[in-house]
Amino acid sequence: MEAQSLDRRFSLVRVARLLRNRVLDEASTIGIGAAIVLACNLLSLLVSHRAFYNSQGIGPSPWIVTIVLGGLLLAGGSLKAMHDGKSGTEWLLLPATPLEKYAAALADSILFFPLAAAIGAIAMSALLALLERAAGGPGDRVWAPFDARALVAWADYAVAALVLLAGSAAFRKAALLKTAAIFVAFGIAFLGLSALGLLAFFGKHGGSASQLRFFSGWLHIEGAGGNLSERAQKALAVGFKIARYAILPIFAILFGAARVAEKEARDEVQ
């Protein structure tokens, strides 16, 4: 059975093994991160009798922010080993196809980490609530990411993680920073071109676009010559969502997979 699976171009067994190896490799880093979060909350319990991660505040939950930032950091360095002068050769020659190696990194960043981190966060939040109550605080809040907002947060996280994963496949050093810089640069260029296009559009209709507003997921465009019709605004918003949640992730996945497939263990000395 094992020998047969070697001939397969894609084997879920190998992906699962690669994923397990990744998780074990990352376990100590994630453990340190979790310990830091716990320590900060214990400190806050000592000082104010409240675990600040469980406190109601303005903006997104600290649990979500921590999980997203942690996941993005991991995704940004997800394929670091592939570029290393020494471990890179071992990585490339481990008997699994490049696609399987990329799929394992993707599954880790997009699915496994956020899921495992969320479960861990729920457990830690519950523990902190108990400790808060024991310390004389309210202890009445446990973080539970079972709502639509968490799903939207995950979708946004997944898109960003895919882009960072592609960046990790492309860049040898400072992949996260370089990817972020390129992403921002492309974003500015995209907005600039969009603005120019809209100006041209309004110009034709005897006005000029004076304001572009992104609000609640909808794109509002107002111009001196009159607002865009509701229908046109919706169409633009849908186009924007397709670009964000479909074109960008698909491009990132294909780009990253191609970079992994063509990666070579080139000796820098040569």
Partner 1 sequence: MIEIRSLTFGYGRSPLFDSLDLRLEGGRAYGLLGLNGAGKTSLLKLLAGALIPLSGKAEVFGRVPAKREAAHLADVAFVPEDPWLPSIPPSAWLARYAIFRPAFDRERFDELRREFVIGEQKALSKLSYGQRKKFALAAALASGARTILLDEPTNGLDIPSKMQFRKALVSALSEDRVIVVSTHQVRDLESLIDPILILDKGRLAIELDAEELSTTLASAHVSSLEGMQVVYAERDALGWSALVARRGGDGFSPAAAVSSAAVSSAAVSSAAVSSAAVSSADLELVFNAALAEPSRLAAAVAGGELAPYVPAADMEGKE
Alpha-carbon distance of 76 to 97, in angstroms, equals: 21
Neighbours of 99 (CB within 10 A): 14
Neighbours of 157 (CB within 10 A): 21
Q: Which stretch binds partner 1 (CB under 8 A): 109-117, 137-145, 235-243, 260-268?
A: 260-268
Q: Which residues from 76-105 bind partner 1, rule CB under 8 A?
A: 84, 86-87, 89-90, 92-98, 100
10 Å CB burial of residue 107 (0-12, 13-18, 19+) is: middle
Q: How far is the CB of 52 from partner 1 (least distance, A)?
A: 34
Provide the 3-class DSSP secondary structure of residue 113.
helix
CB of residue 95 to partner 1, shortest distance in Å: 4
Instruction: Please state, in angstroms and rounded to a whole number, the distance separating the CA atoms of residues 18 and 26.
Output: 12
Least Å from the CB of residue 92 to partner 1 = 5
Q: Enumerate residues 22-51 that contact partner 1 by CB under 8 A.
A: 24-25
Q: Binding to partner 1 by residue 172, rule CB under 8 A?
A: no
For residue 224, what are the contacts with CB-CB under 8 A and spacing of at least 6? 202, 207, 208, 210
Identify the residue among 8, 133, 149, 234 touching partner 1 (CB under 8 A).
8
Q: Residue 12 interacts with partner 1 (CB under 8 A)?
A: no
Closer CB to partner 1, 84 or 156, in the complex: 84
Closest to partner 1 by CB, 64 or 96: 96
Q: Is 184 exposed, middle or buried (0-12, 13-18, 19+ CB in 10 A)?
A: exposed
How many chain residues are in contact with partner 1, going by CB under 8 A?
A: 34
Task: Please report whether residue 16 would count as binding partner 1 according to CB under 8 A.
Answer: no
Minimum CB distance to partner 1, residue 93 (Å): 6
Distance CA 106, CA 70 (A): 15
- Which spans of this chain sit near partner 1 (rule: CB under 8 A)? 2-3, 5-9, 11, 14, 17, 20-21, 24-25, 84, 86-87, 89-90, 92-98, 100, 261-262, 264-267, 270
